[in-house]
Amino acid sequence: MQVTVLGSGDAFSGTGCNAGYLVDAAVLVDCGAPAPALLRRVARDVSGLRLILITHFHADHTYMLPVVIGACALASPCAPGLVIAGPVGTREYVQRIVSAGYGSEIVKIVNDNVSPRYIALQDGDDVEIAGYRLRAHAVVHSLGPSLAYTLTDSTGARVGFSGDSTMCAGLRRAIEGSDLFVCECTGWGAPVPGGHLYSDQVSELVDAYPSTRFLLTHLAARHSLPGALIAHDLLTLDVAAR
C-alpha cells in the first residue's frame, strides 16, 4: 500500500496544506488540501479516485471537496462510480457545499457524470469498499460525529487514520494492528483546545504500540518526536503488512 500526504498542516498554521491523504491513487482520506493540483505533482489524477473518506465535517478536512468532485465530473475520460463515505449526514453535507460553492449546474454535472454513491458510516462498521476492507471507529472531537478509519488492502497491509481526536477508545482501536498510523499531533508540549492530540499524548501512544509506525500530521509546527515520522506535504510512504 502506498500513502501520500497531500496536506500536513493544522487548520490555521500554514505549516502545510490542510488535511488530505492519498492511498494507492484510489482513495482520498479527507479533502482540505487542493488535491487536483497536488495529485498532478505526484503523477496522479482525480480520475483514478474510487473512494473519498471523510473523517468529520470541519472546513480544513472538507472544503476542497467541491473542487475534487467537480474535477472528477469534468475529467476526460470521466470515471463514474465514485464512492463518498463518512459520518452520518455526509450526503447532505457534501451536496450542500457543492451547491453553495458552484451552484445547481455543477450539481447536475456531478450527478450525471459521476453518480456518486454515498455511504454513511458509524462506529464499528466493517465493510468492503473499492477493493479495501474499511473499519470505522468513533472518536471524540469538538465536532460530532467524528470517525477514525483503518484501511486494509488485499495484501494485508493496514493503514489507520486518526482524523481529529482526543485520547479515547476509538482512537486506540484504530491504532491496534495498523502497520502505519497517520496520527494528528496539533500541539507540542502542552494541551491544545478543540479536541486534539498533543505531543505528550502521542508519545504515550507510540510507546503503547511499538509495532505500529506513526506518521504525525495536522501540525501547527514541526518538531521531532522519538519513534515517529513527521509528515510534510507530498511525502510518500510504502506500507507492507507485518
Which triple of cell numbers denotes residue 182? 497517520
CATH number of the 2-238 domain: 3.60.15.10
Domain spans, the chain: 2-238
Dihedral (CA of 166, 169, 174, 176) sign: positive
| pLDDT, tens only, 100-111 | 999 999 999 999
Helix (H, G, I), strand (E, B) or coil at 111: helix
Residue 217: strand pairing partners: 184
Q: Which amino acid, 156?
A: G
Q: Edge-to-edge strand order for the sheet containing 20-23?
A: 117-121, 83-87, 51-53, 27-31, 20-23, 2-7, 236-238
Average pLDDT over residues 205-218: 98
Is pLDDT of 242 > 90? no
Euclidean distance between CA atoms 126 and 109, whole angstroms: 32
* Strand, helix or coil for residue 155: coil
Residue 198: closest CA among 207, 189, 206:
189
Residue 161 host element (H or E): strand 158-161
| Mean pLDDT, rounded, of the chain | 95
Q: What percentage of the chain exceeds 70 in pLDDT? A: 100
pLDDT value of position 212? 98
pLDDT tens digit sequence for 149-163:
999 999 999 999 999
Q: Would you say residue 77 has pLDDT above 80?
A: no
Angstrom CA distances, 29 to 104, 182, 191, stand at 26, 11, 26
Q: Tell me, what's the pLDDT at 53?
A: 98
3-state secondary structure of 224: coil
Please give the helix or strand (H or E) that residue 52 lies within, else none: strand 51-53
At residue 81 the predicted structure's pLDDT band, cuts being 50, 70 and 90, is: confident
How far does the chain reach from its first CA to its final CA, in angstroms? Answer: 12
Query: Is residue 70's pLDDT more than 80?
Result: yes
Residue 79 has pLDDT above 90, yes or no: no
pLDDT tens digits for range 124-174? 999 999 999 999 999 999 988 999 999 999 999 999 999 999 999 999 999
> How large is the average pLDDT for residues 93-105?
94
pLDDT at 128: 97
- pTM for this predicted structure: 0.96
pLDDT of residue 75: 86
